[in-house]
């Protein structure tokens, strides 16, 4: 019997804030550059979850923005994403639908509904937004490029709603990654959406205790079921976010980063296949160089035989095999 192989996928949401606030150089370009440098130092590929709605918006208002801020948000993001790709990093899709109707008034970015969720939209609209996102990435990287993974929002930390799955298939996107790990369908670090070729690869997380409202596995399943079918459950929605503590490279110190890895190794030790462990991070939250470096050094030293650093693009090869079985 072969040993379980664990694949750490470091997925970084590349964006300013969902309400339109933030400074592109401070919250994206500079921290992303720092992350890129550290990754290069350890020869680790990162997966950039590129917020395309925001990028498209910056492109549309490029003249006004450049005049107002003294540099082009659009050009700097474009060049950075291209550079990351050239250097072997993975570029995947992240979309906040609220950018669709955003505008600039009196030199200010106005987001009409910062909490707009994909589960609020009609299938046609969803398809149009995702299709546009795919085209934007192809436009940057090349027509040959396939998007492998997507992180939709503003869903709570759940699977994608079922009516979105056929749309993802239509664009050959076979990975969605937003749910936390405690979904009971999660046996070996990912699961397949029913009657489809799409897989959920959750953000690796540990259920936390001492949370007032903690959902057990079956409760979480019912919750996900209702929520993804359009039922609004605001009080639950809030507590759900505290339920699973996500593996976050921006918010954890070295020992937590390591503890989450060890938990993943224990939890999936009976799996004989390849197990993905997705870490999340946000450019706007990244001030954690020291801990991250220490973590990379430790993993490369101690876990070199069982753990590799991977990307959604790389991992999609294993899923392709599984799809064709």
CA 191 to chain centre: 16
* Residue among 114 and 207 whose Cβ is closer to Zn ion: 114
Min CB(167)–Zn ion separation in Å: 19
Stretch that binds Zn ion, among 10-18, 69-77, 140-148, 218-226 (CB under 5 A): 10-18
Question: Which residue in the shown chain puts its C-beta closest to Zn ion?
Answer: 13
Site stretch for Zn ion (CB under 5 A), options 6-14, 29-37, 250-258, 302-310? 6-14
**Smallest separation (angstroms) from Zn ion to the CB of 15:** 5
Helix ranges (DSSP H) in 43-122: 52-60, 62-69, 73-86
* Number of other residues whose CB lies within 10 A of the CB of residue 61: 17
Pick the closer one to Zn ion by CB: 13 or 314: 13
Which burial class, exposed, middle or buried, applies to 315 when counting CB atoms under 10 A from its CB (0-12, 13-18, 19+)? buried
Query: Measured from the CB of residue 254, what is the shortest distance to Zn ion in angstroms?
Result: 25
The interface mask with Zn ion, positions 202-221, x = CB under 5 A, is --------------------
Q: How many CB atoms lie within 10 A of CB 154?
A: 16
Cβ 81 to Zn ion, closest distance in Å?
15
Pairing mode, strands 191-192 and 175-176: unpaired
Please say whether the beta carbons of 133 and 97 come within 8 A: no
Candidate segments 9-17, 112-120, 125-133, 224-232, binder of Zn ion by CB under 5 A: 9-17
Q: Which is nearer to Zn ion, 20 or 264 (CB)?
A: 20
Size, binding site for Zn ion by CB under 5 A: 2
Using the minimum distance from each CB to Zn ion, give the nearer residue, 15 or 92: 15
Report how far residue 63's alpha carbon sits from residue 80's, in angstroms, rounded to the nearest whole number: 19
Q: Which two tokens stand for residue 273?
A: 């296949």
233: left (phi over 0), alpha (psi -120 to 50) or beta: beta
Whether residue 276 contacts residue 9, with contact meaning beta carbons closer than 8 Å, is answered with: yes
Eight-class DSSP state of 160: P
Smallest gap from Cβ 83 to Zn ion, in A, equals: 21
Nearest distance from residue 283's CB to Zn ion, in Å?
A: 10
At CA 286, angle to CA 284 and CA 103, rounded to 5? 5
Nearer to Zn ion, 121 or 261 (CB): 121
Which region among 5-13, 33-41, 204-212, 252-260 touches Zn ion (by CB under 5 A)? 5-13
CA gap 308, 304 in Å, rounded:
7
Residue from 13, 56, 92, 248 touching Zn ion (CB under 5 A): that is 13
Least spacing, CB of residue 56 vs Zn ion, in Å: 15
**Do 20 and 109 touch, CB atoms closer than 8 A?**
yes
Residue 15 or 100 with smaller CB distance to Zn ion: 15
Residues engaged in binding Zn ion (CB under 5 A):
13, 15
């Amino acid at each position: 019997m072969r040993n379980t192989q664990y694949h750490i996928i470091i997925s970084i949401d590349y964006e300013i804030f969902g309400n339109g606030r933030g400074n592109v150089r401070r919250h994206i370009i500079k921290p992303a550059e720092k992350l890129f440098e550290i990754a290069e130092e350890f020869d680790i590929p990162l997966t950039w979850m590129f917020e395309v709605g925001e990028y498209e918006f910056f492109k549309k208002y490029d003249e006004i923005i450049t005049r107002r801020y003294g540099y082009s948000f659009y050009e700097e993001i474009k060049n950075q994403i291209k550079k990351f790709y050239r250097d072997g990093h993975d570029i995947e899709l992240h979309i906040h639908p609220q950018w669709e109707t955003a505008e600039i008034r009196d030199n200010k970015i106005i987001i009409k509904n910062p909490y707009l969720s994909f589960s609020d939209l009609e299938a046609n609209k969803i398809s149009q937004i995702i299709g546009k996102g795919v085209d934007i990435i192809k436009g940057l990287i090349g027509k040959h490029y396939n998007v492998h993974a997507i992180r939709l929002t503003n869903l709570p930390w759940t699977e994608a709603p079922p009516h979105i799955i056929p749309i993802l298939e239509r664009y050959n996107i076979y990975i969605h990654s937003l749910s936390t790990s405690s979904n009971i369908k999660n046996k070996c670090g990912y699961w397949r959406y029913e009657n489809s070729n799409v897989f959920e690869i959750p953000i690796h997380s540990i259920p936390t205790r001492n949370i007032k409202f903690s959902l057990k596995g079956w409760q979480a399943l019912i919750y996900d079921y209702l929520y993804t079918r359009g039922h609004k459950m605001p009080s639950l929605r809030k507590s759900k976010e505290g339920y699973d503590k996500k593996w976050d490279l921006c918010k954890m110190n070295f020992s937590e980063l390591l503890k989450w890895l060890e938990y993943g190794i224990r939890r999936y030790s009976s799996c004989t296949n390849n197990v993905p462990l997705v870490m999340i991070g946000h450019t706007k939250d990244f001030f954690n160089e020291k801990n991250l470096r220490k973590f990379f050094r430790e993993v490369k030293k101690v876990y070199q035989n069982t753990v590799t650093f991977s990307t959604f693009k790389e991992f999609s090869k294993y899923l392709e095999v599984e799809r064709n079985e």
